[in-house]
Amino acid sequence: MTNAIVTGASRGIGREIARQLAARGVRLALHYQKNRTAAESLLAELPGEGHALFAADLGDSDAPETLIHAVLAQLGQIDILVNNAGIYHHHPPQTTSYADWRKAWTETLAVNLFAPAHLSFLAAAAMPRGGRIVNISSRGAFRGEPEAPAYGASKAGLNALSQSLARAFAAQGICCYCLAPGWVETEMAASHLAGPRGAEIIAQHPLGRVTQPEEIARAAVFCALDAPAAMTGSIIDLNGASYLRT
């Protein structure tokens, strides 16, 4: 049985990744922060047996170790880690107080960068040869996030982390991949897409729409199960050509 941890699995991209992995016969450790109702509804709809829920606040520096130990105690082995959980704080430098600025940076880096780093370190130690780490980054790592600099910086750090771990873990047969979505039609994005900037956001996308969670999940599942080892260290853009880098 292949076991996978998906962080931030109760909604959005993480929820769809969990669904698609379960459909491929993977047993899931479903991490959520506090929305147990949403996590339980996901658990109830997944095919297969042995899936389990794990609550953790990844902003807590002790949470990654506690989470990994709990998963290993219940499932016995970790084959795949999907670092999907993330937060976004609006903190434009021109209008944010210094206290709120520091808070945004501390909280964002803790969840978006430090937690994936620590989870990857701990999970890799328990992975067999052929293990996979899939990190969910953002196009904001490349184009900048002027209204949320900590978010852009955290995702740029996650890209660099992914490539560093790909090199570090290659000798152990563990591959590390990174996906960089743009706007995705999730609960988190709903207010923006329906708000005053909605038309402007859509206009950025040559496809005439933002990306769907199912599309990100398909790429994540490919990396987790099917991608060749030679792709390790890759950062894969999934933004509908809304931002093209060279």
CATH of the domain at 109: 3.40.50.720
Catalytic residue among 98, 151, 177, 243: 151
Residue 245 covered by a domain: no
pLDDT value, residue 94 = 98
Residue 246 covered by a domain: no
Residue 33 covered by a domain: yes
For the chain, what is the domain count? 1
- Tell me if residue 151 is catalytic: yes
pLDDT value, residue 35 = 96
Question: Quick one: which of 115, 162, 118, 103 has its CA closest to 137?
Answer: 162
pTM above 0.75, yes or no: yes
Cα–Cα distance, 85 to 46 (Å, whole number): 20
Q: How confident is the model at residue 181 (pLDDT cuts 50, 70, 90)?
A: very high
Sign of the alpha-carbon dihedral angle for 130, 133, 139, 143? negative
pLDDT value, residue 236 = 98
Residue 151 covered by a domain: yes
Residue 155 covered by a domain: yes
Residue 17 covered by a domain: yes
| pLDDT tens string 188-223 | 787 888 888 889 999 999 999 999 999 999 999 999
Residue numbers of the domain that contains 139: 3-238
Residue 244 covered by a domain: no
